[in-house]
Structure 1
Amino acid sequence: MKKLLYICIIIFICGACGNDRENDIIKRIRTWENRTILFPKNTVFTKGGIDTVDWDFSSSYKIMTYVDSSGCLSCKLQLLEWKKLIKSTQKQFPDSVRFLFIFSPSQRTALLHELNIAQFDYPICIDENNLIEKLNNFPVDAKFQTFLLDKDNPLAELN
């Protein structure tokens, strides 16, 4: 009987912890609802970090992800997974969803190396001065640095 009581207490405590974590996640997400992501007016997009390209902001939806320089760069980038998601999304929702990649690396050459290895040819912004993060104050936790921008939340540019 004591064993059963201990097991019930452990399950109750673990369940309560999980519920707190879920509430924390919901709270974090809600703080970013209906916010506009700000970008400097001179934001430049490139392919492979080399060739400057125009980036069309007029799509109905944009999935924006920000990756900073802390920790393992290749682990955080997950470029092959992004390529799969882009391909799948473009197949299901052609011309409706665009992807916006903002990278703020401490070592540009390491980022370019990762882009080359993954053959990642989607337009990216390399924000070496981390201006976009400074304007928006993104959450520190990388799990909360990807955002869905809808057609009513267009790109806001600052002078």
Structure 2
Amino acid sequence: MRINRVLLFVTCILFSCQKTEHKRILDIVKEWDGKEITFPTHSIFTIQGYDTIPYKIPKSDYKVIVFVDSVGCISCKLQLPNWKKFMHEVDSLCDGNVPFVFFFQSKNVRELRNILRRDSFSYPICIDTEDSFNKLNRFPDVMTFQTFLVDSGNRVKVIGNPIHNLSVKELYLKELTGMKSNPLPVTTVHPDSTEYHYGTVGKNKKESKKVILHNTGKEVFRIKGVTTSCDCMTVEYGWDEILPGESAVLTVKYKAEEPGDFWRTITVYGNIPEKSFTLDFWGTVKK
């Protein structure tokens, strides 16, 4: 059973990775499958980084553990609005019996507080400035593998971020609910490009790009969803399927951040052989 679970997870991840990444990913998944996660003896939890609350790590059949390190763009990693949607979905399916435990390793407490307030995220979180949680467990240094679904003994059942990868999200829901999905017949979809250039964008300005998807296969393409590498990117579409031989449009909006060059991605999921494909968006934010 353990080997089957490892292979299922690796299959979901490897479709979106280069061949050189395969062994590294397989090694990480094998190492963490069934591994027990340990919590610090004394962890201080707050609401939005301000009000300390008497919070204990819940005992439950399952829990989701989210660790976020301080490397890179914190806002990009967090995507808290998407976490709120996922938490609501899990609560609805599991009658509120699956707690979420958040550890944020960040020395920039002010920035983190601002993000939590901006996104109205009022769930208990631990701002672990001493990195004690990571020191106990030595988590992978790749964001993709810093989120875990664990059992009652805090042993890892699924590793991966369900916000950044919809295939991983499916594994979470399957483990939690036992839901089985009937696979759809696959088709082929080609975007009009794989790279899109926004050019020069003014700070705090918004720019849009149209992405045209062509169904070049013989089956109906049914979109499962779209993820973004950063919450500065949003994707809009008013359709859920593309008939064979037809096309549809995604509108990809970017809200400019700090001045300088930027590179962002979106990943489209659906009934295609690779399960998903990723598109690149780049440009420069002027001062």
Considering the TM-score relative to the shorter chain, is it more than 0.5?
Answer: yes
Give the superposition deviation at 1:20: 5.5
2:26 aligned partner, one-letter code: I
Identify unmatched segments of 5+ residues in structure 1. Answer: 1-14, 155-159
Give the superposition deviation at 1:31: 0.5
Task: Tell me the distance in 2 between the aligned counterparts of 1:49 and 1:117.
Answer: 12
- Tell me whether 1:81 sits opposite 2:82 in the alignment: yes
CA contact (8 A) 2:57 2:101 kept: no
Task: Tell me the distance in 2 between the aligned counterparts of 1:131 and 1:97.
Answer: 24
1:90 aligned partner, one-letter code: D
| 1:104-143 equivalence runs, <5 A | 104-143=105-144
Partner of 2:38: 38
Deviations 1:87-139 (A, max 9, x none): 11101111321111100112000000000000000111110111111111110
Task: Tell me the distance in 2 between the aligned counterparts of 1:106 and 1:71.
Answer: 13
Task: Tell me the distance in 1 between the aligned counterparts of 2:20 and 2:63.
Answer: 30
TM-score (norm 1): 0.79
| 1:7-46 equivalence runs, <5 A | 18=18, 21-46=21-46
Where does structure 1 differ by over 3 angstroms across 4 or more consecutive aligned residues? 17-24
RCO greater where, 1 or 2, for CA within 8 Å and sep 6 or more? Answer: 1
Task: Tell me the distance in 2 between the aligned counterparts of 1:135 and 1:51.
Answer: 26
CA contact (8 A) 2:65 2:149 kept: yes
Task: Tell me the distance in 1 between the aligned counterparts of 2:97 and 2:27.
Answer: 28
TM-score (norm 2): 0.45
Deviations 1:16-59 (A, max 9, x none): x8556445323311201222212221111111112222245112
- Does 19-28 or 95-104 show the bigger shift? 19-28
Q: Aligned with 2:144: secondary structure? A: helix
1:92 aligned partner, one-letter code: L
Number of aligned residues = 139
Identify unmatched segments of 5+ residues in structure 2. Answer: 1-14, 156-287
CA contact (8 A) 2:63 2:100 kept: yes
The structure carrying a bigger helix percent of its residues is 1
Computed over aligned residues only, the root mean square deviation of the Cα atoms, in angstroms, reads 1.9
Give the superposition deviation at 1:83: 0.5
Partner of 1:59: 60
Give the superposition deviation at 1:148: 1.2
The structure carrying a bigger strand percent of its residues is 2
Q: Aligned with 2:76: secondary structure? A: helix
Deviations 1:136-157 (A, max 9, x none): 1110101000011101327xxx
- Does 89-98 or 124-133 show the bigger shift? 89-98
Q: Percent identity?
A: 38
